[in-house]
């Protein structure tokens, strides 16, 4: 949540910062702002609204600077106003700061700063940081200290409870940015006689090929040619510089009208990337070296606990079905946000697996850390290479889906469930799954990209159906077994991008309550691809029809369902092991076309942000 960029170098900072902010807008888009330094002259411009509003405002205040910081906000404390937008400036006018995170003890800090004569203009928690830094600079640091600015920030942060990614500039140090992190990601990009700061490599907008990932409680002093890093306890750090693979980070729209549309249509490729190099046809199994566990260690696992949030949590539910079905290992699935506060009893041979597209979701990260504190072996399935979760887990599998920019997760989901299928196969083949069953699943996985490509050909038909149904205000999404998580995911997609109320339910549970909603005004979307239970799903469809409810069926058996439903999305027939991958796609397209029909901004739905880095 919230995107930060910073620049120090020899070029005009303002367009570089705006370019970076545009790439980071997926992290929040309530308001945006910029602070620029030219010698001791500081210019701050901030506006409610998107980055392009800020950009046109900046056009009215041309200010040449070689150093600056900027921010795109997702509001936590304080309404969406110009005043609450970042950067915040200390009341003495000497420091400007951008912040991503939450200062939990901001009221205490505010009182303290007020007692020292500092004043406040905003309702944010962030403004306290900049005044606290100004206080420490003025009153608590030696004026002759070479790194006085860094030291003032360090001393201030010692008093902060909560999370932060910050970038700070000062009129007294026109060639320095101080950046720090605890709980919110922050990276330093290394260019040629220039340095950039950002919440994500995308913020470097292709301008840096090398990156330093700041770790929690590290503070960096960044100049155009250098970077010094200390810990909050003032210990000097030997940091590692990593190179950026811009191919993986490519985030252009490539002619599509939105990132979400592009990402839906990229799924044959992203699924292919998830599979590449991870299948052994000879051994009829998966090859998952990233797990960092020997077969002996994996055989000792007798329980798996999955933790995640949102769409990734739905992927965990799919994993539960697959692993229990194929590998016969009991699986539990927890919301990461609940896990960290529940202290649930976990069996000693439990493997904890977290799933996170961004690799930065704070609840998932904290669930991972809590599992590690308890001594569990941990694995992560993440898309974002070098993300905090991927770095802190004991082992893991990258999705290699390419950057997902649309706030609504699409290709990340199908890639996650593909990897979970590979994992289920791998674990199963170490236990009771036969060579021939393994072979069938291997062949099915190999065919998944093609099957998804065929499913995407249904887009025009799904668009027509979406037009017909876009007027409804409530939807039920129903599915059984592996398709229950798909029902949850279909409902989530529809509500997050079109603001239509939608509920996902296990189809048979409908009779225990949700059937009360069924009426001509509340259509149902039924997932029906499980051979074992076509007849049961047909009965559920009849129950809805008997109450004049409209039905869209997503099925690979249109013959059975056509007489009982209003509209059919007919899927290609595929092996049972990959049906959940194929069936996920029409629900994404349906949500996408409904939202477009309603004129919604699919890539930046209201109130949401791509990576949830605050609790
Ligand atoms: O980056 P993560 O996978 O950890 O994100 C988890 C959720 O915030 C995310 O899936 C969210 O639910 C999406 N907006 C769903 O489309």
Residue, of 250 and 95, whose pLDDT is higher: 95
Task: Return the beta strands (E) in 437-550 as ranges.
Answer: 474-479, 501-506, 524-528
pLDDT band for position 612 (cuts 50, 70, 90): confident
Query: Helix/strand/coil (H, E, C) string of 215-255?
Result: CCCEEEEECCCCEEEEECCCCECCCCCEECCHHHHCCCCCC
> Which residue(s) pair with 236 in the sheet?
230
3-state SS class at 430 = coil
CA 456 to chain centre: 24
The protein residue whose alpha carbon is closest to atom 10 in ligand 1 is 311
pLDDT classification of 531: cutoffs 50, 70, 90: confident
CA distance 511 to 478: 12
Q: Is the pLDDT of residue 84 over 80?
A: yes
* Distance (Å) from CA 109 to ligand 1 centroid: 32
pLDDT band at 536 (very low <50, low <70, confident <90, very high): confident
pLDDT over 70 (residue 212): yes
How many Cβ atoms are within 10 Å of 437's Cβ, its own excluded? 16
| Among the ranges given (80-84, 214-218, 242-246), the one the predictor scored with the smallest mean pLDDT | 242-246
- The arithmetic mean of pLDDT across residues 250-279, rounded, is 92
13-53 residue pLDDT tens: 999 999 999 989 888 889 999 999 999 999 999 999 999 99
Average pLDDT over residues 560-576: 94
Higher pLDDT, 417 or 606: 417
548-569 burial, b for 16+ CB within 10 Å, e for fewer? ebbbbbbbbbeebbeebbbbbb
Closest C-alpha to ligand 1, atom 8: 310
pLDDT for the residue numbered 251 = 64
In terms of average pLDDT, the best of 23-27, 385-389, 414-418, 505-509 is 414-418
Q: pTM for this structure?
A: 0.87
Asked if pLDDT for residue 9 goes beyond 90, the answer is yes
Q: How many CA atoms lie within 13 A of 141 on its CB side?
A: 21
For ligand 1, say whether the CB of 588 is within 6 Å of any of its atoms.
no
Average pLDDT over every residue of 256-278? 96
Mean of pLDDT values over 558-582: 95
Ligand 1 centroid – CA 436 distance (Å):
36
pLDDT tens profile 321-336: 999 999 999 999 999 9
For residue 35, list its beta bridge partners. Answer: 44, 69
Q: Whose CA is nearest to atom 14 of ligand 1?
A: 408
Atom of ligand 1 nearest to the CA of 407: 14
pLDDT of residue 205: 77
Exposure class string for 321-343: b at 16+ Cβ within 10 A, else e = bbbeebbebebbbbbbbebbeee
Phi, psi of 29 (to 5 degrees): -150, 35
Band of pLDDT at residue 347, cut at 50, 70 and 90: confident
How much distance in Å is there from the Cα of 56 to the middle of ligand 1?
31
Reply yes or no on whether 325 is catalytic: no
Kindly give the distance from the C-alpha atom of residue 603 to the centroid of ligand 1, in angstroms, as a whole number: 13
Between 276 and 244, the higher pLDDT residue: 276
Q: Which residue puts its alpha carbon closest to atom 16 of ligand 1? A: 408
Question: What's the confidence (pLDDT) of residue 62?
Answer: 87
pLDDT at 466: 98
Task: Please report which confidence band the pLDDT of residue 250 belongs to, taking 50, 70 and 90 as the band edges.
Answer: low
For the Cβ of 309 lying below 6 angstroms from any atom of ligand 1, the answer is yes
Q: Which residues contact 563 (CB under 8 A, 6 or more apart)?
A: none
> Given this model, what pLDDT does residue 248 score?
60
Q: Is the pLDDT assigned to residue 249 strictly greater than 80?
A: no
Of the candidates 97, 192, 8, 23, the residue with the CA atom closest to the CA atom of residue 610: 23
- Does residue 569 surpass a pLDDT of 80? yes
The answer to whether the CB of 489 is under 6 A from ligand 1 is: no
pLDDT for 247: 67
Question: Has residue 242 got a pLDDT over 80?
Answer: yes
> What does pLDDT average to over the chain?
95
Range 414-428 average pLDDT: 98
Report whether pLDDT(585) > 90: yes
CB of 5 shorter than 6 A to ligand 1: no
The β-bridge relationship of strands 350-356 and 303-308 is: parallel
Span from the CA of 240 to the centroid of ligand 1 (angstroms): 29
- The tokens of 289 are what? 């070296």
pLDDT on residue 58: 94
Are the C-beta atoms of residues 395 and 379 closer than 8 Å to each other? yes
Q: Which of 184, 588, 592, 612 has the most ligand 1 atoms within 8 A of CB, as the residue to mutate?
A: 612
How many percent of the chain have pLDDT more than 70?
99
230 lines ligand 1 (CB under 6 A): no
Q: Is 2 a catalytic residue?
A: yes
CB of 184 closer than 8 Å to CB of 100: yes
Q: What is the pLDDT of residue 21?
A: 96
pLDDT beyond 90 at 246:
no
What number is the average pLDDT over the span 267-294?
95
What span, in angstroms and rounded, lies between the C-alpha atoms of 33 and 2?
11
Atom of ligand 1 nearest to the CA of 357: 3
Residues 163, 166, 170, 176, Cα dihedral to 10°: 130
* Residue 234 clears pLDDT 90, i.e. is over it: yes
Q: Which of 312, 339, 417 to mutate to test the pocket of ligand 1 (most atoms within 8 A of CB)?
A: 312
Ligand 1 centroid to 332 CA: how many Å?
19
Is residue 615 scored above 80 in pLDDT? no
């Amino acid at each position: 949540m919230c995107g930060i960029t910073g620049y120090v170098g020899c070029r005009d900072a303002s367009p570089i910062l705006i370019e970076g902010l545009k790439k980071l807008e997926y992290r929040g888009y309530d308001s945006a702002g910029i602070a620029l330094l030219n010698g001791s002259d500081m210019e701050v411009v901030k506006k409610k609204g998107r980055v392009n509003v800020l950009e046109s405002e900046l056009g009215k205040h041309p200010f040449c600077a070689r150093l600056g910081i900027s921010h795109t906000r997702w509001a936590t404390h304080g309404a969406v106003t110009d005043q609450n937008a970042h950067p915040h400036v200390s009341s003495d006018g000497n420091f400007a700061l951008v912040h991503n995170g939450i200062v939990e003890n901001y009221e205490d800090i505010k009182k303290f700063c007020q007692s020292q004569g500092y004043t406040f203009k905003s309702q944010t928690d962030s403004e306290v940081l900049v005044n606290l830094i100004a206080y420490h600079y003025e009153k608590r640091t030696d004026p002759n200290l070479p790194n006085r600015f860094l030291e003032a920030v360090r001393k201030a942060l010692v008093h902060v409870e909560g999370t932060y990614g910050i970038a700070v500039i000062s009129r007294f140090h026109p060639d320095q940015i101080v950046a720090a992190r605890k709980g919110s990601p922050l990276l330093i990009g290394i260019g040629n006689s220039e340095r950039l700061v950002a919440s994500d490599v995308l913020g470097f907008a292709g301008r840096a090929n090398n990156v330093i990932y700041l770790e929690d409680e590290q503070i960096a002093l960044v100049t155009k040619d250098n970077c010094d890093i200390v810990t909050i306890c003032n210990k000097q750090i030997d940091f590692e510089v990593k190179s950026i693979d811009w191919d993986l980070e490519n985030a252009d729209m490539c002619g599509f009208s939105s990132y979400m549309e592009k990402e839906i249509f990229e799924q044959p490729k992203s699924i292919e990337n998830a599979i590449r190099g991870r299948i052994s046809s000879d051994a009829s199994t998966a090859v998952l070296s990233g797990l960092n566990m020997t077969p002996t260690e994996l055989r000792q696992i007798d329980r798996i606990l999955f933790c995640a949030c949102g769409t990734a949590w739905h992927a965990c539910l799919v994993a539960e079905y697959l692993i229990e079905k194929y590998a016969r290992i009991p699986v539990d699935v927890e919301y990461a946000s609940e896990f960290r506060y529940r202290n649930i009893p976990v069996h000693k041979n439990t493997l904890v697996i977290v799933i996170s597209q961004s690799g930065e979701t704070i609840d998932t990260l904290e669930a991972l850390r809590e599992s590690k504190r308890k001594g569990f072996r941990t694995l992560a399935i993440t898309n974002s290479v070098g993300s905090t979760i991927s770095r802190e887990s004991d082992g893991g599998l990258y999705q290699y889906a390419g950057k997902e920019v649309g706030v609504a997760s699409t290709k990340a989901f199908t890639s996650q469930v593909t990897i979970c299928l590979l994992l289920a196969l791998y674990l199963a083949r170490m236990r009771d799954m036969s060579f021939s069953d393994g072979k069938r699943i291997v062949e099915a996985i190999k065919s998944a990209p093609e099957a998804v490509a065929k499913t995407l050909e249904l887009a025009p038909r799904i668009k027509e159906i979406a037009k017909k149904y876009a007027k409804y205000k409530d939807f039920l999404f129903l599915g059984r077994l592996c398709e229950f998580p798909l029902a949850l995911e279909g409902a989530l997609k529809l509500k997050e991008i079109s603001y239509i109320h939608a509920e996902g339910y296990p189809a048979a549970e409908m009779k225990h309550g949700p059937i009360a909603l069924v009426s001509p005004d509340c259509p149902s979307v039924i997932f029906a691809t499980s051979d074992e239970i076509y007849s049961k799903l047909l009965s559920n469809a009849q129950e809805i029809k008997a109450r004049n409810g409209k039905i869209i069926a997503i099925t690979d058996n249109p013959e059975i369902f056509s007489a009982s439903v209003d509209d059919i999305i007919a899927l290609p027939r595929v092996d049972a092991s990959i049906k959940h991958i194929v069936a996920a796609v029409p629900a994404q397209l349906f949500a996408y076309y409904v939202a477009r029909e309603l004129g919604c901004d699919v890539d930046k739905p209201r109130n949401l942000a791509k990576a949830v880095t605050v609790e």
